[in-house]
Amino acid sequence: MRYAPCVITEFDVTGFQAALGKRNIALGDPLKHTAETGSTNTDATEAAKRGAPHGALFVSDHQSAGRGRRGATWTSSPGENLLFSLVLRPPGSVQSLTNLTLALGLGVAEALDGFVSPAATVKWPNDIYVNNAKLGGILVETHTSGATVDFVVVGIGLNVHLSTQPPGLDVPATSVALASNGQAFTRESLLVAVLNRLDERIREHAASGLDGMISAINARSYLQGRAVDTERLSGTVVGIDASGALLIDVQGRSEAVRSGTVRLAGG
């Protein structure tokens, strides 16, 4: 496997903003970049409470307290990967946002088409996979007042220049560099591509939920047709419905899983 030529450097704010300015994207402005922070999701949350607008972007070269779904931690060497969070102020109720993660996952996977091969897939509900290895993850934190959505913070971590397997992982890891087949790229160009697809999918989700993209989501499903175990059942994944539920065939009976951890059987 050829490794893409790259130089790990501090995020190029000027270059990124110049590239972003050539696209009509409602995400990425204003931008706050830090060489190191505790968590970009925490930074975004604090800024949103102070009124940061929809699309505000927080990028860091290193997180000392990055976090993932269900209390997991996210570790990354300084300057190696792409770590960022977005403030979203979507319309609609708390209930209408329950499946937003799937729309975001689809957008990220689609954006990677120009950078990796084979095509990226989404392991329900929030992990990005390429060639049976994890490339990234998405953490959505919805902040509410009763039934009203105040704002949403989306944290995304993508392995970009990772070249070796970090110790202690429970699943294989890969990166854009490892899956790029030698194609040169930058973190800045990757982020612009991701924001472009996220903007489109976020707009579509606000207008019609998953209805118009559920076929594309199923086509990108890493778990489709695989035997899996969940906290309460085991079976074979047969699809994802428009509500965002994972559909599992259990001895001829279809069961809908709406939350929790899903593992490949025997994994």
What 8-state DSSP symbol labels residue 213? T
Selected residue with higher pLDDT from 72 and 104: 104
| 209-220 mean pLDDT | 97
Percent of the chain with pLDDT over 90: 77
Predicted pLDDT of residue 66: 59
Amino acid at 129: Y
- β-bridge pairing 57-60 and 31-34: parallel
In the numeric block, which tokens belong to residue 138? Answer: 């998405």
For 13-40, the pLDDT digits (tens) are 999 999 999 998 999 999 999 999 999 9
For the chain, which residues make up each domain, given as ranges?
Answer: 13-219, 227-264
Predicted pLDDT of residue 2: 44
Predicted pLDDT of residue 241: 98
pLDDT band at 10 (very low <50, low <70, confident <90, very high): confident
Query: Between the CA atoms of 102, 255, 71 and 111, what dihedral angle is there, to the nearest 10 degrees?
Result: -20
The yes-or-no verdict on residue 197 having pLDDT over 90 is yes
Q: Which CATH superfamily is domain 13-219 in?
A: Bira Bifunctional Protein; Domain 2 (3.30.930.10)
Helix or strand (DSSP H, E) at 57:
strand 57-60
**CA–CA distance, 156 with 104 (Å, rounded to integer):** 10
The alpha carbons of the chain give a radius of gyration, in whole angstroms, of 18
Average pLDDT, the chain: 91
- β-bridge pairing 82-88 and 57-60: antiparallel
| pTM for the model | 0.92
246-250, strands of its sheet edge to edge: 253-257, 246-250, 234-240, 227-229, 263-264
Predicted pLDDT of residue 181: 74
| 107-125 mean pLDDT | 97
Candidate CATH numbers 3.30.70, 1.10.357, 1.10.287, 2.30.30; the one for domain 227-264 = 2.30.30
Predicted pLDDT of residue 74: 52
Judged by DSSP in three states, 188 sits in: helix
For 227-248, the pLDDT digits (tens) are 999 999 999 999 999 999 999 9
pLDDT band at 164 (very low <50, low <70, confident <90, very high): confident
Q: Burial, 251: exposed, middle or buried (Cβ in 10 Å; 0-12, 13-18, 19+)?
A: exposed
The yes-or-no verdict on residue 67 having pLDDT over 60 is no
Predicted pLDDT of residue 176: 95
